């Protein structure tokens, strides 16, 4: 009874607040129009043709040997990359949490965890080709191997594993820190070896988290477009097959059907990860450890594990360093000659680099604050407000995380090229910079929303209720009370959105027109042509921009963030 009255009172407050009602309506419209509609139109186009409702397009697509091979290849790569990334991530996380190591090693781990965030998704593919390809620095010059073929299955697996294992490492590190050390120490006191403790206590507690890390990596792997495009060679995956189907075969209906198949796979995995394993992990590992963990100091354990992880970390860092070094070679793969800056000069003098960086920077700079603000608004509505559409807003905003970029790109082509439902309405949106900004916002929205929800759940609702009691409306409360309290999360979301936007490629490569030059598209184009030095020059400048953005964000939070004020107030 009391619960029903409370819900009724919340609805009355909501209806009496025009600003909040308008915000909710506009938000639902945006999410429906730019997330649900493109996905729905893919399904409609693949099922409804000139002869009405039919599965003919799906039948035609599945009859293609290339498509059946692409599905097998995609799943095969996804499972292997998921397993390898999870195991390597677990090793790194275990060493950091359980093993006493030097600060230098910890610094290496931090660098490794940040590099995939600030670099374009295909940087390691460039490095792998330049180091281990037919004209590779290691294979050709150091080992004298001239016929090494890094392209194909193993090339994709290695590159994706090196790209995604830091994600698993960051996820599992947090879970391991939350395991109460008293349970493990009790087993040790009873005579169990460290391996026995790990297999009977630590591993079972961590199992849901391992499954979660595997599925996240699996989804990222099968949705990846850039790496298979550059280093895949003739080894087709679903993402590259969809791209070639729409750009090469000009078969938009077939591409839509392929995109629906890929979307179904990722959505199924996302549902298991989000609604089963994530909850099970939270239920298994609750709260923080009751006391500090006694780190392993036995040299027979610390030395081998530390050396192994350090070598792996150094190898990954060297792979990333290969990109700026590659941009300094006059001609990569033929002979050692004096290093030069000519490729950096040609980026701006010959290859319209200034326009590429300007377009990418401006579009990303516009998308970033919109994404950060939308994320905070959605987080605020989900955590602090009660209304019927709340579940819809949360689910759809997070849904974009499970949608591969290639699928979203095809959905926007089919949904907006001829207007809404082929009526011509909003057809002017297609081919403009605005649709690229919208894609950037949609792709970055889930990350910002999850961060905002976590931050808002730590704020006592009585703080905001006091402002309402003093006569402030919802807009005033949000801007003057809520937003300042989650300033760190907002700034973090702002920079994350900027970095994700300026390094994006899978969704926008199908939507970009000659009117706009984007850095990632340029890098992909030169890499496909084999012009690795100029591709590395573009990538180096891009990494410098993104890394500088992250450093600037950390500096702002350090000196002007919420945590700074809290420390000063103590």
For residue 82, the tally of other CB atoms under 10 A from its CB is 26
| CA pair distance 347, 252, nearest whole angstrom | 34
Highest mean pLDDT among 51-65, 232-246, 326-340: 232-246
Contact predicate 333/136, CB 8 Å? yes
CA distance 399 to 273: 12
Percentage of residues in the chain with pLDDT exceeding 90?
11
Is the model's pLDDT at 234 over the cut of 60? yes
Output the pLDDT for position 119.
80
pLDDT level of residue 370 (50, 70, 90 thresholds):
very high
Residue 567 has pLDDT above 50, yes or no: no
Other residues' Cβ atoms within 10 Å of the Cβ of residue 499: 22
Where helices occur in 403-531 by DSSP H, the ranges are 405-416, 433-456, 461-469, 474-477, 483-485, 487-502, 519-529
Q: What is the mean pLDDT of residues 354-379?
A: 90
Least confident of 17-21, 277-281, 427-431: 277-281
Distance CA 562, CA 503 (A): 28
User: What CA–CA distance (Å, rounded) separates 439 from 507?
Assistant: 7
Mean pLDDT computed over 477-496:
76
Mean pLDDT for 133-161 is 82
Confidence (pLDDT) at 290: 56
CA dihedral 117, 216, 557, 358 (to 10 degrees): 40
Task: Identify which has the larger pLDDT, 422 or 516.
Answer: 516
Predicted local distance difference test score (pLDDT) of residue 49? 64
453 to 380, 504, 562: CA distances (angstroms): 7, 24, 17
* Poorest-pLDDT segment among 16-30, 277-291, 318-332, 343-357: 277-291
| pLDDT reading at 401 higher than 50 | yes
The DSSP string of 122-167 is THHHHHHHHHHSTT-IIIIIIS--SS----SHHHHHHHHHHHHHHH
Q: Do 46 and 58 form a contact (C-beta atoms < 8 A)?
A: yes
Asked which of 4-18, 184-198, 422-436 is least confident by mean pLDDT, the reply is 4-18
Phi/psi at 414 (5° precision) = -70, -30
CA angle, residues 212, 218, 224, in degrees to nearest 5: 135
Report the DSSP beta bridge partners of residue 99. Answer: 296
Q: Is the pLDDT of residue 30 over 50?
A: yes
pLDDT computed for residue 566 by the predictor: 44
Quote the CA–CA distance of 406 and 230 in Å, as a whole number. 15
For the chain, give the mean pLDDT. Answer: 81
Cβ-based neighbours of 541, under 8 Å, separated by 6 or more: 344, 347, 353, 357, 519
Q: Are 398 and 449 in contact (CB under 8 A)?
A: yes
**Residue 273 and residue 216: Cα distance in Å, rounded?**
7
Bridge partners, residue 49, by sequence: 52
Q: Are 245 and 70 in contact (CB under 8 A)?
A: no
- What distance in Å separates the CA atoms of residue 301 and residue 93, rounded to the nearest whole number? 15
| pLDDT tens digits along 286-344 | 555 556 677 777 787 788 888 888 888 888 888 888 888 888 877 665 555 677 788 88
Q: Among residues 280, 187, 493, 241, which one has the least CA distance to residue 367?
A: 493
pLDDT at 570: 45
pTM of the predicted model as reported, rounded to 2 decimal places: 0.84
Within 10 angstroms of residue 284's Cβ, the number of other Cβ atoms is 16
Confidence of residue 81 (pLDDT cuts 50, 70, 90): very high
Instruction: Give all domains of the chain, ordered by start, each with its CATH number.
Output: 64-333 (1.10.3720.10)
Mean pLDDT of the 252-258 span: 84
- Report whether pLDDT(233) > 60: yes
């Amino acid at each position: 009874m009391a619960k029903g009255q409370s819900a009724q009172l919340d609805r009355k407050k909501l209806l009496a607040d025009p600003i909040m009602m308008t915000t909710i309506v506009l938000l639902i419209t945006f999410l429906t129009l730019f997330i649900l509609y493109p996905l729905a139109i893919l399904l409609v186009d693949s099922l409804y043709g000139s002869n009405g409702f039919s599965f003919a397009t799906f039948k035609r697509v599945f009859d293609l040997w290339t498509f059946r091979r692409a599905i097998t290849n995609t799943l095969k790569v996804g499972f292997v990359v998921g397993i390898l990334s999870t195991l390597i991530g677990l090793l790194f996380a275990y060493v950091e949490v359980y093993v006493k190591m030097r600060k230098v090693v910890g610094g290496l781990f931090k660098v490794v965890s940040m590099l995939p965030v600030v670099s374009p998704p295909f940087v390691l593919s460039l490095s792998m080709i330049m180091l281990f390809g037919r004209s590779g620095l290691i294979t050709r010059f150091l080992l004298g191997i001239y016929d090494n073929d890094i392209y194909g299955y193993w090339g994709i697996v290695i590159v994706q594993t090196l790209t995604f294992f830091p994600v698993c490492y960051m996820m599992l590190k947090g879970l391991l820190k939350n395991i109460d050390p008293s349970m493990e120490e009790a087993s040790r006191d009873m005579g169990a070896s460290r391996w026995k403790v790990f297999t009977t206590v630590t591993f079972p507690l961590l199992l849901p988290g391992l499954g979660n890390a595997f599925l996240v990596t699996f989804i990222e792997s099968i949705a990846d477009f850039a790496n298979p495009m550059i280093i895949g060679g003739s080894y087709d995956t679903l993402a590259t097959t969809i791209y070639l189907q729409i750009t090469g075969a000009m078969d938009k209906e077939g591409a839509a059907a392929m995109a629906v198949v890929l979307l179904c796979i990722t959505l199924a995995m996302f549902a298991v990860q989000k609604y089963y394993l994530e909850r099970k992990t939270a239920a298994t590992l609750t709260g923080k450890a009751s006391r500090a963990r006694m780190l392993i100091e036995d040299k027979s354990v610390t030395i081998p594990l530390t050396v192994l992880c350090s070598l792996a970390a150094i190898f990954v860092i060297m792979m990333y360093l290969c990109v700026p070094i590659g941009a300094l070679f006059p001609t990569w793969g033929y002979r050692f000659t004096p290093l030069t800056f000519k490729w950096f000069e040609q980026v701006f003098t010959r290859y319209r680099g200034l326009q590429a960086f300007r377009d990418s920077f401006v579009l990303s700079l516009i998308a970033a604050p919109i994404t950060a603000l939308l994320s905070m608004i959605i987080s605020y509505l989900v955590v602090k407000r009660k209304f019927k559409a709340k579940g819809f807003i949360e689910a759809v905003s997070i849904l974009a995380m499970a949608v591969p970029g290639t699928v979203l790109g095809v959905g926007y082509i089919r949904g907006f090229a001829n207007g809404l439902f082929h009526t011509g309405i909003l057809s002017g949106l297609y081919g403009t910079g605005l649709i690229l900004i919208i894609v950037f916002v949609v792709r970055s929205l889930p990350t910002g929303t999850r961060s905002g929800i976590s931050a808002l759940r730590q704020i006592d609702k009585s703080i905001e209720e006091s402002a309402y009691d003093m006569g402030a409306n919802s807009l005033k409360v949000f801007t003057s009370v809520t937003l300042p309290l989650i300033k760190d999360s907002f700034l973090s979301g702002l920079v994350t959105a900027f970095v994700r936007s300026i390094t994006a490629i899978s969704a926008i490569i199908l939507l970009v027109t000659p009117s706009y030059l984007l850095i990632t598209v340029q890098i992909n184009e030169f890499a496909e042509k084999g012009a690795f030095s100029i591709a590395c020059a573009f990538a180096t400048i891009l990494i410098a921009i993104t890394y500088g953005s992250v450093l600037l964000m950390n500096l702002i939070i350090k000196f002007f963030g919420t945590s700074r004020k809290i420390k000063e107030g103590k």
